[in-house]
Structure 1
């Protein structure tokens, strides 16, 4: 079969547009640009907090160069932050080059949990439920596009990741996250759906914006969210809202269990009433 030769481009033919450059992931330091010119904003404090948050369970020790790459801050800025944190006892480097956070950092989280009404009130409620039902329960709030655990009890380790107070998970593929998203205003939900990157954590993860929008409507209508192995294979979870007097979901409480051990039906029939009672009890402290 003969192929028709392409007609050569004439001098007047405009060149094809160059492909757009790949999108650059915004660094934590770049997020501070919006505060440029604000005389009340302490940039040095913000940089220190960015350095602190760069340490994770996967990266507990890092050099100045590694922290500079992760944060987007200059090496000089990272060095000053680490110098200050080290002098105050919040960080240190055993070998002089690889820095890590120090136990004194726990005083900051303790201050939050001791002074936060929601966290201090939730913990005994969860412990009582865990003792009676022999299951793991958690309370979380929404922080940006993630949920943050503010109280938790663990009877049986049901997740591969070690969750604790302060742990963060994506909102879109967790039962607690869907509760907190579903009770946002319609405008807030649409803004979230427009910016979220729906990464498939398992083959069951919902990665369609339209399907997620429909699920959030169902969650709001039913008053609970059930996620079946969307964040981790083998993990099933059920969550309900903790409502303030104005109807806003200020937090959420959930049960996490092994999918082979607890069916979705058992979660809805046996455990949902307990979760709703606990949410009502916790809501009293918000009045």
Structure 2
């Protein structure tokens, strides 16, 4: 069971299909042992084996995630507010939950534009690179953030990402001042995003955040200001409608 969970965690973190050798090396086990574990996970629907003999997460995990999300108002309200209350919603929007040093996307509304930004539910990304993650990190004190990244790696997905904790803390100062976070090409080179935490109406420390993503090449000072006000309005509307996740 533990090894099986480790395999699922590794495949999820990899963000791409992985082969049996990668998995065996990650777990430090023989390929024969990895083969047996992979067969069990494939049979149970937790993994899918591709024609090139690589593995990706299976639909059974999606079913379980959907069942979990249906027990919460948050994803449904995310879609309802985005579709009916947010003007000019031609960009992409995501709802994410904090999970250690990462965020996990649990709901996405992709851009309808031909070359627009797209995401998929279940994506896991480092909090320090994403608009949603940085929005949640900004609620921690500088001392808490330093202590947090003493035990977790400070990931960098593109050359635009922060190089050290001091750089991250400078971003936190700006986020707290203006009330929203910015991912300026830190997750994807061509993408610019704004994020804000969902502050639950019934209290509790926020563990969810929303973001809106744009093509980086189209961002102007006027558009960035409008995006910041829009994400704050979106997060506030969602905060007022939902109870905390439990």
- Structure 2: segments with no counterpart, 5+ residues: none
The Cα shift of 1:234 comes to 2.5
Determine if the alignment matches structure 1 residue 194 to structure 2 residue 150.
yes
Q: Which one of 88, 102, 123 corresponds to residue 167 of structure 1?
A: 123
RMSD: 3.0
Structure 1 segments (4+ residues) deviating >6 Å? none
Counterpart of 1:253 in structure 2 is 210
Larger radius of gyration: 1
Identify the range of structure 1 (138-147 vs 74-83) with the bigger mean alpha-carbon deviation. Answer: 74-83
Determine if the alignment matches structure 1 residue 232 to structure 2 residue 232.
no
Q: TM-score, normalised by structure 2?
A: 0.80
* Distance change in 2, residues 1:72/1:260 (3 Å): same
CA distance in structure 2 between the aligned counterparts of 1:200 and 1:61, rounded to whole angstroms: 21
Larger RCO, structure (CA 8 Å, separation 6 or more): 2
CA distance in structure 1 between the aligned counterparts of 2:147 and 2:6, rounded to whole angstroms: 25
**3-state secondary structure, aligned to 1:165:** coil
Aligned residues: 239
The Cα shift of 1:58 comes to 5.9
CA distance in structure 2 between the aligned counterparts of 1:94 and 1:258, rounded to whole angstroms: 32
Counterpart of 2:23 in structure 1 is 67
The Cα shift of 1:106 comes to 2.9
Counterpart of 2:171 in structure 1 is 215
CA distance in structure 2 between the aligned counterparts of 1:214 and 1:99, rounded to whole angstroms: 39
Q: Which one of 107, 110, 119 corresponds to residue 66 of structure 2?
A: 110
CA distance in structure 1 between the aligned counterparts of 2:87 and 2:222, rounded to whole angstroms: 22
The Cα shift of 1:249 comes to 2.4
Q: Which one of 214, 233, 242 corresponds to residue 198 of structure 2?
A: 242
Determine if the alignment matches structure 1 residue 263 to structure 2 residue 220.
yes
